[in-house]
Chain A
Amino acid sequence: MKEKKRSAWFKRELPFHLMLFPAVILTFIFKYIPFTGITMAFEQYTPLKGLFEQKWVGLDNFIYLFSLPGFSSVILNTLYIAVLKLTGNLVFPVIVALLINEIRAKRYKKTVQTVLYLPHFISWAALAGIFIDILSPSGGIVNQILQMFGMNPVFFLGDAKIFPYTIVLTDVWKELGWGTIVYLAAISGIDPTYYEAAKIDGAGRFKQILHVTVPGIIPIILLMMVLSIGNVLQAGFEQVFNLYSAQVYSTGDIIDTFVYRIGMIESRFDLATAVGLFKSIISFILIILGYKLADKVAGYKVF
């Protein structure tokens, strides 16, 4: 009796297993097998020896890394830039969404939105090229405009003091339009009877925004805030890599660019993997924390 049940069950579910099979294989090879490479973080890697004959050094790589003078600034830079970006990418899209919502002229509204989405679709490889030119202290158009107002040219990308803010502002600018999508959707989902009730109570437009619109989108704002916790170490490799230079390493070098240089250019696989592991573990904890909070705060379940 049990034999019959088991084969019937398997036959019924076999199609699902078959469907998932290719994805499972690919994921196993390209996502799970690299997990085993994490052991490199605990070894002194010499490319001459095979993968299984490396010398085990335990936490020595980590101790060495943390003792490097530049390393703590790499971590601080990452946190500083990432937190500023998270804040900027939370606050500005909300404000702009609220402003866009106040536009009555449909064509203008649609056009503004379409144009605001534009930078999101340009890759950082191209966008970096654009910024390197327009922010150039010698010929870039931004500095030319500043000079028209009598200001001195600003070294947006060459001055270590200014570089992090350039990174944050350009990223906020790039993702601004895209970020408004979710909030505009939430705003349009607010029950219109609330506005009517507010109007009857004598609320002008501004009070309506304050007391109906904003409270109406607070849940989604909280959700976005909480989901972004997992990204506290994602300072934006693609952007920083294309915009940074040795003169701004002190404030602009982030974990991912550090890993790239040490791993791909200097071939110190052990150190690069150690840093990568450090970042992965912390990010993992933060992502799980973010998902748990999202569930508590907004009933959001990832799956």
Chain B
Amino acid sequence: MKIRESNSRKIFVIFNYIFLGILALSCILPLINLFAISFSSRAMVDANAVRFWPKDFSTAAYEYILGNRQYYQSFAMTILRVVVGWFVNLSLTILVAYPLSKDDPRIFRCRRLYTWFFLITMCFSGGLIPTYLVVSKVNLVNSFWALILPEAVPMFCVLIMMNFFKGLPKVIEEAALVDGANWFVTMWKVYIPLSKASLATVSLFVIVNHWNAWFDGLIYMNMPEKYPLMTYLQSIVLKFDITKITSEMLMRNPNLLEVTGRGIKGALILLCTLPILLVYPFLQKYFVTGVVMGSVKE
């Protein structure tokens, strides 16, 4: 039996589709606008004539950025921190989550103590200045490791992983122990292979975090050559100076005459965010489960 929809319901459905469509568009249009500006000529940009498609196509902005050594240095720095940070964060997450997930007090008596030890750091912090001073006292200022070590243990990820481990049936652990495996082997050979989804979620969060991080680069690095990509982007966005383009550069590439501050910023923003934007749609199921696991408990 077909149930007839009331007219008001039909109207609601139409409005709903339109409203959500506009909302979704609002999320991409700004990027499209910047994309258009970055590929437009100087005359068009200065006249504010660019909307959502390039006018008087020009690649000057990209030529300037990609001709600049600092872009590659920063890109390399970010790739390095993402890879090393992913490895360090993921390993430490597993190494912390595994023992803390053993809630049987007979197995691990000091568990409560360690849990409090880590949890307190989620609630209370020494603050910006004391943390900066500690980093400088251990000689990590201007070092790559300042981007990795201070936040090496990502507590949110530890919680996700810990809850996941707790949800695994105890029998597999008992079976492994009966077979003579010690805790390391159980963790490595039994728990980790079963946690692939959780590991993927944690990896995703960790990688996105490192890619997007800019503040630590700003305060810990003294030389712009050592800035990770987002810090470099932040420095350009806040103060790009068009007089940086020297006449020597113009002679080598007359296209650079078309460069505008807005074009450069737009191009750099796109270059820096595109990698993540291309990847995240395919990993939706991982971050969705991660968020749910981190907030909702059975």
Contact across chains for B95 and A259 when beta carbons are under 8 A apart: no
> Contacts A34-B126, A302-B159, A303-B162: A115 and B27 contacting too (C-beta < 8 A)?
yes
> Contacts A118-B27, A139-B48: A125 and B231 contacting too (C-beta < 8 A)?
yes
User: Which one of B92, B123, B135, B212 lies within 8 Å of A287 (CB-CB)?
Assistant: B123
Interface status of A146 (Cβ within 8 A of chain B): no
Give the docked Cα–Cα distance between A280 and B128 (Å): 11
Residue of B nearest to A45 (CB): B129
Interface string of B119-162 (1 = CB under 8 A from A): 10111111111111111001000000000011111000001001
Interface status of B183 (Cβ within 8 A of chain A): yes
Interface status of B277 (Cβ within 8 A of chain A): yes
Q: Kindly identify, within residues 125 to 139 of chain A, every residue whose CB is under 8 Å from any CB belonging to chain B.
A: 125-126, 128-134, 138-139
Residue of A nearest to B268 (CB): A129
Contact across chains for B269 and A264 when beta carbons are under 8 A apart: no
Q: Which interface residue of A116, A122, A132, A230 has the most chain B CB atoms within 10 A?
A: A122
The smallest C-beta distance from A210 to any residue of chain B, in angstroms, reads 13
> Contacts A23-B92, A125-B237, A263-B128: A182 and B214 contacting too (C-beta < 8 A)?
no
User: Which one of B17, B27, B127, B152 lies within 8 Å of A37 (CB-CB)?
Assistant: B127
* Chain B contact residues: helix, strand, loop or mixed: helix
Contact across chains for B131 and A38 when beta carbons are under 8 A apart: no
Give the docked Cα–Cα distance between A117 and B95 (Å): 31
Of A58-66, A74-82, A98-106, the one touching chain B: A98-106
> Contacts A38-B127, A96-B23: A114 and B281 contacting too (C-beta < 8 A)?
yes
Q: Which residues of A contact B127 (CB under 8 A)?
A: 34, 37-38, 259, 272-273, 276-277, 279-280
Interface status of A194 (Cβ within 8 A of chain B): no
Residue of A nearest to B294 (CB): A182
Number of interface residues of A (CB under 8 A): 96
Of B30-38, B54-62, B167-175, B193-201, the one touching chain A: B30-38
The smallest C-beta distance from A130 to any residue of chain B, in angstroms, reads 5
Interface status of B24 (Cβ within 8 A of chain A): yes
Q: Kindly identify, within residues 10 to 40 of chain B, every residue whose CB is under 8 Å from any CB belonging to chain A.
A: 12-13, 16-17, 19-21, 23-28, 30-31, 33-34, 37
Interface status of A141 (Cβ within 8 A of chain B): yes
The smallest C-beta distance from A153 to any residue of chain B, in angstroms, reads 11
Give the docked Cα–Cα distance between A144 and B135 (Å): 46
User: Which one of B21, B37, B124, B284 lies within 8 Å of A112 (CB-CB)?
Assistant: B21
Q: Which residues of A contact B26 (CB under 8 A)?
A: 173
Q: Which residues of B contact A264 (CB under 8 A)?
A: 128-129, 132, 219
